[in-house]
Amino acid sequence: MSQDEHHAALPGHADFTLPQPAPPKPVNGKRPIPMPDPPPAARRPRRRPQAAAAAAAEKHEHHEAAEAGSDEPGEGTATPPVRKPANRRRPVAHTDPAETGAETPATPEPTVPRETVPSEPVVAGAADAVDVWDQRVARGLAFLRRRLAGAYEVDDFGFDPELTDAVFHPMLRVLYRDWFRTEVFGVEHVPETGGGLVVGNHSGTLALDALMLTTALRDKHPGDRHLRLLGADLVFRMPVLSELARKAGATVACNPDAERLMSSGELVGVFPEGFKGIGKRYAERYKLQRFGRGGFVSAALRTGTPIVPVAIVGAEEIYPILADLKPLARLLGIPYFPVTPTFPWLGPLGLVPLPSKWLIEFCPPIPTAHLTEYADDPMVVFNLADQVRETIQATLYSLLEKRPDPFGR
């Protein structure tokens, strides 16, 4: 049996093979993309055995006629058609886009499998928040390590700048910014370097005005200066409070300590009214009491440092004193025992200050460098102390006009 007869005996056309689809290509190591089936035009229908046999015989006849004829086909000789394989595609001529002037088609991007798309959106800023908290925890642990190892410094008065900035001031800023909504004016009048004496009015039952004044200078002053407060002897006789006051930079209100601090370039804060100012009743609010004998003025004159008057509005309303139980105060050994709208009626809750609006204004400094030789002259000391008092009183009246509502914004 010849090869042609063997092909004709097969049930289908032997020369025809269906095109096989290309194997699927994996993308990013994920599920492969299924390739589309070939178009219907590329397929050829299957022939019946009779039609396949007739086509094979016709092909055999044409093949014999071609062998019998000459190389040049004559008039009666027909050239057999050349059959193209069905499983091959016509070659495509590649041309340079630059020669034809056509634009280069954009390369399609590969399809991303469904599994690679994140199911939940990423919250913007979440990583930054985590980094911020990591930094805070790291700083806290480093601070504790330094404290436990004793790797910190204090001055001769017991002032601890690191503890003040890391613990005391962050707690005071909550009252300063959020609770009292403090506004500060004239902070440029405070010297950026060198010694200075800040003199303010005192009020509020508790000495919160002194603490808010230190926070205002630390936050608003361009030099971020610490205010070294002068406290009464009662503060330094109390076991726990005395240690905290020393760590925060306070010292006993005496001329030698004040002069030593100002001579070393520190900023010193003093409240000449003392307990008479913070213990006065609400009916006498914002009326300055007597400034004593003017010891703060003589200390400034001896060192030649400027005096900066400061007025504080808002402390009178945090604990309005309605009455003073003097017998109970003498029994407890304290200057006064206040009775306020919340204390002692609410117990410990009565110690929460009322959220009054605070205004702090620093007045222009009063120079004393030209009066150093008059430090022991009582008349000069008295006149200078009276000038400071009048400046503070006038500034208080102007601040009260700016703040018509004690508890407004």
C-alpha–C-alpha distance, residues 288 and 396, integer Å: 10
To which residue do tokens 């390590």 refer? Answer: 145
Q: Which residues contact 52 (CB under 8 A, 6 or more apart)?
A: 8, 10, 11, 12, 13
382 versus 24: the higher-pLDDT residue is 382
Instruction: Tell me 239's DSSP state.
Output: H
Reported confidence tier of residue 158, pLDDT bands at 50, 70, 90: very high
| pLDDT at res. 134 | 85
Per-residue confidence band for 409, with pLDDT thresholds at 50, 70 and 90 = confident
Q: Length of the chain, please?
A: 409
The per-residue pLDDT for range 308-343, each reduced to its tens digit, is: 999 999 999 999 999 999 999 999 889 999 999 999
| Of 257, 266, 259, residue with least CA distance to 195 | 266
For position 100, what pLDDT does the model report?
Answer: 47
Give 193-236 pLDDT, tens digit per residue: 999 999 999 999 999 999 999 999 999 999 999 999 999 999 99
From residue 222, alpha-carbon distances to 181, 190, 192, 259, 351 in Å are 20, 10, 7, 24, 33
Helices (H), 248-377: 255-263, 275-278, 295-303, 326-332
- Indicate if the pLDDT at residue 84 is higher than 90: no
Residue type for position 276: K
Dihedral of alpha carbons 155, 158, 159, 163, sign:
positive
Residue with tokens 């049930």: 11
Q: Each residue of 309-327: b (16+ CB within 10 Å) or e? A: bbbbbbbbbbbbbeeeeee
* Cα-trace Rg, the chain: 49
Q: What is the pTM of this model?
A: 0.68
Of 152 and 181, which is predicted with more confidence?
Answer: 181
**pLDDT at residue number 151:** 85
Q: Reply yes or no on whether the pLDDT at 12 is more than 80.
A: no
| Three-state secondary structure string covering 177-202 | HHHCCCEEECHHHCCCCCCEEEEECC
User: Quick one: DSSP state of residue 344?
Assistant: T
Q: For 254-273, what is each residue's pLDDT tens digit?
A: 999 999 999 999 999 999 99
Closest CA to 228 of 254, 182, 261, 273: 261
Query: According to DSSP H, which parts of 264-338 are helical?
Result: 275-278, 295-303, 326-332
Q: Is 396 left (phi over 0), alpha (psi -120 to 50) or beta?
A: alpha
Name the token pair of 341: 């709208």
| Per-residue pLDDT reduced to its tens digit, 290-314 | 887 888 999 999 999 999 999 999 9
Q: Would you say residue 154 has pLDDT above 70? A: yes
- Average pLDDT in the chain: 80
**Share above pLDDT 70 across residues of the chain, in percent, rounded to a whole number:** 68
- How far apart are the two ends of the chain, measured CA to CA in Å? 112
In angstroms, rounded to a whole number, what is the distance separating the alpha carbons of residues 139 and 365? 39
Task: Report d(CA 233, CA 254) in Å as an integer.
Answer: 10
Those residues whose C-beta lies under 8 Å from the C-beta of residue 386, and which sit 6 or more positions away, are 291
Question: Tell me, what DSSP letter sits at residue 176?
Answer: I
**Long-range own/partner contacts, residues 378-385 (CB < 8 A, 24 or more apart):** 380/301, 381/294, 381/297, 381/298, 381/301, 382/294, 384/294, 384/297, 384/301, 384/307, 385/272, 385/291, 385/294, 385/296, 385/297
